A and B are shown apart, each in its own frame.
Chain A
Amino acid sequence: MALVAANLCYTYAAGTAYEVPALLGLDVHLECGDLLVIAGTTGSGKSTLLRLLAGLLRPSSGTVGLDGSPASDRRSRGRAAMVFQNPESQFFAESLLADVSFGPRNLGAQEPARLAADALAAVGLDPDTFGDRSPFTLSGGEARRAAIAGALAMRAPYLLLDEPTAGLDRRGRRDVVLAIGRERHRAGVAVVTHDPEEFLPSATRVLALHAGETAFAGSVDELLANPSPYLEAGLRLPEVVMAQLFARGRGLPVGAMEFEPEAAAARLSHARGTRS
């Protein structure tokens, strides 16, 4: 059971004067328990990839298989829940509760209203305060939380999130990271993010795109051991890691990289003491 893309290519407006080759041969493998972090500069193809994995676009060539069927197939409906990068584009109902319960209701879930209320609470939106609100008058961060709640409520085996922490406050980022941690017990999760600090420490795999191609693919340990391809794709690692990389670049014997500031400080001050 897995969501698998093989040699995936996608071209917008193919065959016209305006065609944009957006993806040029990607491989992805996602299964229950995974947290795949997808990074890449503006326009590198991240959202296109997510839409293909969700079955919302059909590959120009290559395949996307969801537990053995094409992702865009009817049988795959509701099995990959997606949160769009622009949350406002996802709302349609008059109240937040109606909007968030639509997915589970449509999929024939037992208690859609309870699933919706739980999902809203998980992202820090009190269902009593926000349940009756129109999704169209929310603040930016509230809207992003609501869109995430809509995907969580579907309890789908694959969860695809496009920039889930953009525009969230400190509390909201923590809520979302925790919610995703819980989802991984029953789902495979892929996250597109510009916020590596939130997700890299617990990622099982990292995929960095550059102009539609794979700039880096591997585990977090592999990334930290050899960050050049990632950095050369115009990306930055968390600042705490960057500080250790710069110190190493200066010739300090830093050793393995740490994500936590305290652990990094211990390593850096030790490295400073042992240099020759």
Chain B
Amino acid sequence: MRGPSSSEECGLIELHEVSVTYPGAERPALDHVTLSIVPGRTLALLGPNGSGKSTLARLCNALLLPTSGRVVVDGMSTVDEATLWQIRARVGFVQQNPENQIVGTVVEEDVAFGPENLGVPAHELRSRVDDALGAVGLTGLERREPHLLSEGQKQRLAIAGALALRPAYLVLDEPTAMLDGEGRSDVLAALRRLRAHGVGIVHITHHLEDVIDADAVAVLDEGTVAFSGTPAELLADPQAAETLGVEVPAIVVLAEALREHGVPVPRDAFTAESVAEAVWRS
């Protein structure tokens, strides 16, 4: 029987008191973590190396099951084998190492693999694949073998595969780690569009500037949630943020230093363009 909270559990991913201890490990990788992932919102997940971010990510689509506690996706528990495939269809996942999720022999087959398995009809498949490849800037490489791509191209391919699934939730484990200026902004723009269309997003990163417009931020430290709030709240105390291992973006440091020089730079100026604009206008 479901408890009274079942209605709340619909329409979100809930992690409740989740712990994970890997076989042979001395300490848990996640230790009583509770948080939720909400449709149409982006949760940024930060934290030092080894703090448990990827472990948390793997829990969301039942790639990993908690040692204790529970993970519930739209009312379905990830330990329930009967709903496993429904969960996998709802929750897209871009792994930290894109190599781990390449399945097709050529790029377009790789992207088509997920939706095809979900029974998407052939005529729709084509447009889904083309849209996804276009969104990540891989158009033109449809017939290339995935293992012959550069690492950044592989990372984009993994993202395209997740986009083509059109999932309700999307968990991305450091999706821009291998991407340069343009590639990075392509991916960030695609994520903003998805959020606007109601997709619930978990964005794992070491770069706060990539998630400055996230709706919520959680910072993990040794498997526990050390901070939970908004990006602005995290930046309100730069020293506390750095104690949590979060690098305060250099542009934020510049804006603060300019304010100390008496230049009125708005608190929401997070880009080089907007800071320069503020200096010019003042």
User: Are the CB atoms of A252 and B279 closer together than 8 Å?
Assistant: yes
User: Are the CB atoms of A265 and B261 closer together than 8 Å?
Assistant: yes
A27 at the interface (CB under 8 A from B): no
User: Are the CB atoms of B263 and A268 closer together than 8 Å?
Assistant: yes
B174 at the interface (CB under 8 A from A): yes
- Look across to chain B and name the residue whose beta carbon is closest to the beta carbon of A84: B151
- Of B49, B96, B242, which is in contact with the most chain A CB atoms at under 10 Å from its CB? B49
Q: Which B residues are in CB contact (< 8 Å) with A169?
A: 47-49, 206, 245
Chain B nearest CB from A54 CB (Å) reads 16
User: Are the CB atoms of B174 and A139 closer together than 8 Å?
Assistant: no
From 87 to 104 in chain A, residues with beta carbon under 8 angstroms from any chain B beta carbon are: 88-89
CA distance A88 to B260 in the complex (A): 45
Chain B nearest CB from A40 CB (Å) reads 7
Q: Which B residues are in CB contact (< 8 Å) with A272?
A: 263, 279-280, 282
> Could you list some 13 contacts between A and B, CB below 8 A?
A41-B181, A42-B156, A85-B151, A142-B50, A169-B49, A172-B48, A172-B49, A194-B180, A234-B181, A239-B249, A243-B272, A250-B276, A261-B254
Q: Which B residues are in CB contact (< 8 Å) with A247?
A: 276, 279-280
- Look across to chain A and name the residue whose beta carbon is closest to the beta carbon of B262: A269
A86 at the interface (CB under 8 A from B): yes
B257 at the interface (CB under 8 A from A): yes
User: Are the CB atoms of B151 and A47 closer together than 8 Å?
Assistant: yes
User: Are the CB atoms of B49 and A265 closer together than 8 Å?
Assistant: no
Chain A nearest CB from B274 CB (Å) reads 9
User: Are the CB atoms of A261 and B257 closer together than 8 Å?
Assistant: yes
Q: Which A residues are in CB contact (< 8 Å) with B253?
A: 261-262
Which residue in A40, A240, A246, A262 is a CB contact (below 8 Å) of B180? A40
Given A88-B99, A142-B49, A265-B254, also A252-B180 (CB < 8 A): no
B237 at the interface (CB under 8 A from A): no
- Look across to chain B and name the residue whose beta carbon is closest to the beta carbon of A144: B49
A109 at the interface (CB under 8 A from B): no
User: Are the CB atoms of A168 and B250 closer together than 8 Å?
Assistant: no
CA distance A6 to B54 in the complex (A): 43
User: Are the CB atoms of A243 and B183 closer together than 8 Å?
Assistant: no
Q: Which B residues are in CB contact (< 8 Å) with A166?
A: 177-178
- Look across to chain A and name the residue whose beta carbon is closest to the beta carbon of B143: A18
- Look across to chain A and name the residue whose beta carbon is closest to the beta carbon of B136: A42
User: Are the CB atoms of A163 and B54 closer together than 8 Å?
Assistant: no
CA distance A50 to B87 in the complex (A): 42
Q: Which A residues are in CB contact (< 8 Å) with B49?
A: 139-142, 145, 167-169, 172
- One digit per residue, 1 when the CB lies within 8 angstroms of any chain B CB and 0 when it does not, for chain A 220-260 equals 00000000000000111011101111110111100000000
B8 at the interface (CB under 8 A from A): no
Classify chain B: how many residues form its interface, as a range.
Answer: 35 or more
A177 at the interface (CB under 8 A from B): no
CA distance A87 to B206 in the complex (A): 18
User: Are the CB atoms of B54 and A268 closer together than 8 Å?
Assistant: no
- Look across to chain A and name the residue whose beta carbon is closest to the beta carbon of B270: A239
Q: Which A residues are in CB contact (< 8 Å) with B250?
A: 197, 238-240, 261
CA distance A181 to B152 in the complex (A): 27
Q: Which A residues are in CB contact (< 8 Å) with B99?
A: 86, 88-89
CA distance A240 to B249 in the complex (A): 10
- Of B54, B97, B282, which is in contact with the most chain A CB atoms at under 10 Å from its CB? B97
Q: Which A residues are in CB contact (< 8 Å) with B279?
A: 243, 247, 252, 268-269, 271-272
B215 at the interface (CB under 8 A from A): no
User: Are the CB atoms of B280 and A234 closer together than 8 Å?
Assistant: no
Given contacts A167-B177, A251-B280, A265-B257, 20 further A-B contacts (CB under 8 A): A88-B99, A141-B49, A168-B206, A170-B247, A173-B247, A194-B178, A194-B179, A234-B180, A236-B180, A236-B181, A242-B272, A243-B275, A246-B276, A250-B277, A252-B280, A261-B253, A261-B257, A265-B258, A265-B261, A269-B262
B22 at the interface (CB under 8 A from A): yes
Chain A nearest CB from B181 CB (Å) reads 4
